[in-house]
C-alpha cells in the first residue's frame, strides 16, 4: 500500500462539492488517513454525522484545522477569504491551503495579504456540479472525467502543486494549471454567463401576466426546461460568483448583448443569411464539443 497523500484533510463547508470529495475519499480509503469536517451550521454537521462522512466533525474551525496537512475551503466564493483569515493563525506550519471556488482574482487579492509564508496556497476549481446543494447532494463520482483547474500561488512549492494535482486526479478529474485572470475569463464565458442568462430568462417569464405565467409553466418546452434546471442553483453561491467575477462576466455579457441585438436586427429585417449563420455557428460549437468528448 502506498503512503497516503495527506495524513489529515480538513474540509470546511461540506456542501455539494465538499461532501462529494468526502464521499469519494470514503470510497478510496488510504488516500487520506483522517477526515476532519467543520461547519458553523449545526444542521449541516448533523447531516454529515448521519452520512458518516468524516472521522471528526466540529463547529470549531480553529481546532479543526490545527492538525491538518491540507485544509480545503468548500464555502461560497465570498466566504473564502474571510474564513481563510479566521483560520490562518491556527494552520499547521507547512500545510496546504486550498479551496474549490469558481472565481479567482478577487479571492486571491483578498486572501494573499493574510497568507503566511509557511502555508502553500493551491486553489482548485473542479468544473463539476449539479443544480442541487448541501451535504446530501454530493456524489462520489461527481468529478469523474471533469476538468479541475489549479491556479497555484506563485510562491507555492512544486511539491504542494504536485500533491493537489494527484489529489484531484484521485477524485477522477483531469487537471489543468492556469493563470488566474485567464481562468476568470474562461469561466465567465462557459459557466457564469450561461447561469446569469438562465436566471434572467426565468425572471422574464415570471414577470408575464399571471394567467400567461401558468401557461408558460404548462407548456415549457424542452428549451425553457433546460434553462430552469440551471436556474435552480444555489442563490448565495451564484451571488458570490457574479460579484467576485464581475469584470470578466460583465465583459462577456456585453459581447453577448451585442450579439443578441444583432440577431434581433436580423430577425426584424428578415436577414435570412445572418440568422442561418448564427444558428450554424451553434451547431459547429456543438460538434466541436462532441469531438472533445465533453457533451
- Per CB under 8 A, 132 contacts its own copies: no
Q: Cβ closer to its own copies: 155 or 280?
A: 280
Euclidean distance between CA atoms 2 and 10, whole angstroms: 21
Euclidean distance between CA atoms 289 and 82, whole angstroms: 37
- Per CB under 8 A, 2 contacts its own copies: no
- Per CB under 8 A, 225 contacts its own copies: yes
Q: Which of 27, 50, 166, 208 binds its own copies (CB under 8 A)?
A: 208
Of the candidate spans 38-46, 48-56, 123-131, 164-172, the one that interacts with its own copies by CB under 8 A turns out to be: 123-131
Q: Which of 21, 53, 230, 248 binds its own copies (CB under 8 A)?
A: 230
Nearest to 59 by CA among 76, 42, 84, 36: 42
Of the candidate spans 49-57, 116-124, 164-172, 212-220, the one that interacts with its own copies by CB under 8 A turns out to be: 212-220
Euclidean distance between CA atoms 114 and 16, whole angstroms: 27
End-to-end alpha-carbon separation of the chain, Å? 36
At residue 127, the 3 state secondary structure works out as coil
Q: Which of 15, 35, 197, 248 binds its own copies (CB under 8 A)?
A: 197
Euclidean distance between CA atoms 206 and 209, whole angstroms: 8
- Tell me the angle at which helices 246-268 and 193-206 cross, rounded to the nearest 10 degrees: 60
Q: What minimum distance in Å lies between the beta carbon of 58 and its own copies?
A: 29
Of the candidate spans 54-62, 150-158, 159-167, 270-278, the one that interacts with its own copies by CB under 8 A turns out to be: 270-278
Of the candidate spans 21-29, 85-93, 109-117, 187-195, the one that interacts with its own copies by CB under 8 A turns out to be: 187-195
- Per CB under 8 A, 275 contacts its own copies: yes
Nearest to 148 by CA among 168, 121, 134: 168
Amino acid at each position: 500500500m502506498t503512503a497516503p497523500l495527506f495524513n489529515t484533510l480538513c474540509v470546511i463547508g461540506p456542501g455539494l462539492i465538499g461532501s462529494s470529495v468526502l464521499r469519494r475519499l470514503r470510497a478510496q480509503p488510504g488516500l487520506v488517513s483522517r477526515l476532519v469536517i467543520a461547519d458553523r451550521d449545526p444542521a449541516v454537521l448533523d447531516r454529515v454525522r448521519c452520512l458518516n462522512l468524516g472521522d471528526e466533525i466540529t463547529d470549531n474551525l480553529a481546532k479543526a484545522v490545527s492538525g491538518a496537512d491540507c485544509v480545503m475551503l468548500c464555502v461560497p466564493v465570498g466566504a473564502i477569504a474571510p474564513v481563510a483569515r479566521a483560520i490562518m493563525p491556527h494552520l499547521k506550519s507547512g500545510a496546504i491551503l486550498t479551496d474549490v471556488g469558481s472565481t479567482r482574482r478577487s479571492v486571491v487579492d483578498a486572501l494573499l495579504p493574510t497568507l503566511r509564508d509557511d502555508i502553500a496556497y493551491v486553489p482548485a476549481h473542479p468544473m463539476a456540479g449539479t443544480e442541487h446543494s448541501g451535504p446530501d447532494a454530493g456524489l462520489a463520482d461527481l468529478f469523474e472525467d471533469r476538468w479541475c483547474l489549479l491556479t497555484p500561488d506563485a510562491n507555492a512549492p512544486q511539491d504542494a502543486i504536485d500533491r493537489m494535482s494527484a489529489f484531484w486526479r484521485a477524485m477522477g478529474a483531469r487537471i489543468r494549471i492556469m493563470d488566474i485572470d485567464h481562468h476568470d475569463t474562461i469561466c465567465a464565458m462557459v459557466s457564469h454567463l450561461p447561469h446569469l442568462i438562465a436566471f434572467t430568462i426565468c425572471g422574464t417569464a415570471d414577470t408575464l401576466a399571471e394567467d400567461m405565467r401558468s401557461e408558460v409553466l404548462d407548456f415549457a418546452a424542452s428549451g425553457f426546461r433546460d434553462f430552469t434546471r440551471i436556474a435552480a442553483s444555489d442563490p448565495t453561491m451564484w451571488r458570490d460568483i457574479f460579484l467576485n467575477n464581475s469584470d470578466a462576466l460583465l465583459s462577456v455579457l456585453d459581447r453577448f448583448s451585442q450579439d443578441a441585438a444583432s440577431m434581433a436586427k436580423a430577425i426584424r429585417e428578415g436577414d435570412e443569411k445572418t440568422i442561418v449563420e448564427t444558428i450554424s455557428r451553434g451547431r459547429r460549437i456543438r460538434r466541436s464539443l462532441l469531438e472533445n468528448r465533453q457533451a
